Chains A and B, each alone.
Chain A
């Protein structure tokens, strides 16, 4: 069995699966259950400043996107940070950490954007024995209207400033949680780094309206006939999150900054993908909210089995391994030529490839009277749409054309050497390749 022990910022946990700061980590009772179920760590539900706690709505907080069998594909929420007194949370955190010293316990914090507010809360968090803090600069609803959460996360200067305060008044790891509701994730990440952050975690939830109630003509979740945007999460956001993780992992200015990956992680494979893109560990919420804490067992067993299969002995062996292969479009090899190929034995003759190609792509699939579908190599641009829409796995595959062969579509000989757009003759800005 591969060793899943993970060291993130010097914080060790028995596995890389942490619960994200969210409803599942709002109190001692839940967190103890999570640790008993086997989670490697938790980021406690975001603490606010001393004083009367925030209040939540008293109607529905969550909206959902369902698949056919009511499979949860995405959830959004309008819940705020913890609505329990600060003192209660701090006492509970201290008790839990003392009982589970081998698990990671991180305190998520969101207080007003004033130095005094941070200076006041940080020593109290320190006393709990928490392993580190996570700055909630991501929450997109409610708190943002009060100048906190994503309102801070959308201004790099604020991120840098608050991070610096935290590094001043707190001596354990500081993780900055980023909002995806920006145009370029590298800017806030760089600001966090410049402020001295030990890591960034991302993504927080995405501004969203999951559905509109067409009878009431109002968005869901609906509170007395009105709705507001919520934060979107779950499997649907994973592609967006992974791109943002990769952007930070490969940018020269932020490369090497530790990342805690968040966004729709539901299975071991999701986790492995985030980690291959540079995440040192992952945080999970929606999967636990959908299936309960036991879901971590599949993640642990699955990741371990995959690592054994691949010969990885620790998570460090594969963290970031895919980052060098994430590049810009202009560096993709234009001499790499493939053609779709349909396995006639596997084909069930549904014709989806044909409809997709004929109606919306390159008219590169022929259909015979007896429903035999074949690729027209002289039209196929290898777009992959047929592969994507085919309901049978591996029925349609992309076959690479060997160097020296003639591409019947272009009439050109497939070249062996790598060549990209930067040196392509059609590129007005092309630089002559060195002889």
Chain B
């Protein structure tokens, strides 16, 4: 039951327009407002310029954080940005979406000292925004090598790889399945983390290096094959992410109203008019990672009356950081732990979802036998994604096996990002794409 004219959070079923446009606009505004220059100067002054700084070690892309913060402190945010971009060309997005509370800011000695780290993420955003506001691209390409590289996937890994390759003078073609580039930055994260079309603007800015062509609507295994890419290019990098979504192992999981959280988030991100976007009155999100939090929080912000995030294990096992958990709680999402979905009830359409309480015995999850039913008009699955296309490469742990800087089991084929083992984070994907590019460059011209 979807109605464009429904109003209010109490309308049953899945309905659009639960809250007015102005409130929606406010709800989906920037999660962390940008610093003004003075705020940035004060925040930057808190950095101790540590020796062999723990924050650098904690950053998957190893940005020289104390150096860029000092550059902000001395009044050169654009020079600071260049320090960031040298290591991480998607430093702008990472400043917005990185779980800094479990990376650089957790490692900050001021976190140990006073529980209040230097706000590295916000400072990084200040620097990168300053440079990007000029719309100038800070790097130049090396002399053309005449080498051509195919990159599959225009997400963080592919873009990072392509940019570094382009810098080295190679020509890059990126094949992207979706209509827009950016990958999860464009389709897969909460809107309030990348406002004002930042993901698209960042891609455009990144392409300013030159030498990169993106072909949209080209999916590996559907429109292109690894064989043809290997035949046509000097090297191939796969960064196509995880195309599949794990199913819900519960009775009645096929009822209407049970959806993938990633689809919901993607639809929301591509929507021009949030008042037309339907959401349930009672929403239950199943999962414990960032996608689950992003889906739950955005459901609430869209006007769902009641949103529950249900996770089968305890809070400490949740993939989403404590900051994300607190964010969800502050927006009114109820966090329910130690509950595993057992059945989806309803007459064709979901009405209720039934959970069984769980506990861990020697690290193994067991049901207690006790169950609870929650009203639900809409259920989002956010229990992980899986590799849908391995192009015949060796696998490891359900992903494309790699050694060193992204070398796959096939000569001339590299891979990185979510389709390879390791943490599924934007910043990790950027590091993997960059390092693979360096290795490809060595292989092509070394």
Contacts and interface: CB of A to CB of B under 8 A. Distances in A.
Interface of A: 67-70, 348-352, 354-355, 367, 371, 391-392
A350 B51 contact: yes
Contacts of A349: 50, 54, 109, 112
Interface of B: 38, 41-42, 44-45, 48-54, 73, 109-110, 112-113
A391 B51 contact: no
Contact of B54 (A70, A352, A371): A371
A69 B42 contact: yes
A392 B113 CA distance: 8
A67 B45 CA distance: 9
Contacts of B112: 348-349
18 contacts: A67-B45, A68-B41, A68-B42, A68-B73, A69-B41, A70-B38, A348-B110, A348-B112, A348-B113, A349-B50, A349-B112, A350-B48, A350-B51, A351-B50, A351-B52, A354-B51, A391-B113, A392-B113
7 nearest A-B pairs in the assembled complex, by CB-CB distance: A351-B51, A68-B45, A355-B51, A348-B113, A348-B109, A350-B50, A350-B109
B436 to A, nearest CB: 29
Contacts of B113: 348, 391-392
Contacts of A351: 50-53
Contacts of A391: 48, 113
Q: Which of B41, B44, B50 has the most CB of A within 10 A?
A: B50
Contacts of B110: 348
Contacts, number: 39
A367 B313 CA distance: 40
Nearest to B49: A352
Contacts of A392: 113
A69 B42 CA distance: 5
Contacts of B38: 70
A351 B41 CA distance: 23
Nearest to A68: B45
Contacts of A354: 51
Contacts of A350: 48, 50-51, 109
B42 A352 contact: no
Q: Which of A67, A68, A69, A354 has the most CB of B within 10 A?
A: A68
Interface of A, helix, strand, loop or mixed by DSSP: loop
A318 to B, nearest CB: 35
Contacts of B44: 68
Given A348-B110, A348-B112, A350-B109, A69 B48 contact: no
A391 B51 CA distance: 13
A352 B50 contact: yes
A350 B50 CA distance: 5
A371 B53 CA distance: 10
Contacts of B42: 68-69
Contacts of A68: 41-42, 44-45, 73
A72 to B, nearest CB: 15
B182 to A, nearest CB: 36
Nearest to A67: B45
A354 B45 CA distance: 20
Contacts of A352: 48-51
A350 B110 CA distance: 9
A143 B42 CA distance: 39
Given A349-B109, A350-B48, A351-B53, 11 more contacts: A68-B44, A69-B41, A348-B109, A350-B109, A351-B52, A352-B48, A352-B49, A354-B51, A367-B52, A391-B48, A392-B113
Contacts of B73: 68
A348 B38 CA distance: 27
Contacts of A67: 45
B41 to A, nearest CB: 6
Contacts of B48: 350, 352, 391
A359 to B, nearest CB: 9
Contacts of A69: 41-42, 45
Nearest to B43: A68
A154 to B, nearest CB: 37
Contacts of B109: 348-350
A67 B41 CA distance: 10
A352 B109 CA distance: 11
Nearest to B110: A348
Nearest to B57: A371
Nearest to A391: B48
A392 B45 CA distance: 16
A70 B45 CA distance: 11
Nearest to B44: A68
A349 B48 CA distance: 11
Contacts of A70: 38
A354 B51 CA distance: 7
A349 B107 CA distance: 10
A392 B54 CA distance: 17
B4 to A, nearest CB: 51
A382 B73 CA distance: 32
A231 B412 CA distance: 70
Q: Which of B38, B42, B109, B112 has the most CB of A within 10 A?
A: B109
A352 B52 CA distance: 9
B43 to A, nearest CB: 9
Nearest to B73: A68
Contacts of A371: 52, 54
B334 to A, nearest CB: 37
A350 B114 CA distance: 13
Nearest to B111: A348
A348 B55 CA distance: 13
A351 B44 CA distance: 18
B52 to A, nearest CB: 6
Contacts of B53: 351
B165 to A, nearest CB: 35
Nearest to B50: A350
A391 B42 CA distance: 17
A67 B46 CA distance: 12
Contacts of B52: 351, 367, 371
A69 B73 CA distance: 11
Nearest to A359: B51
A413 B73 CA distance: 48
Nearest to A349: B109
B155 to A, nearest CB: 35
Contacts of B51: 350-352, 354-355, 367
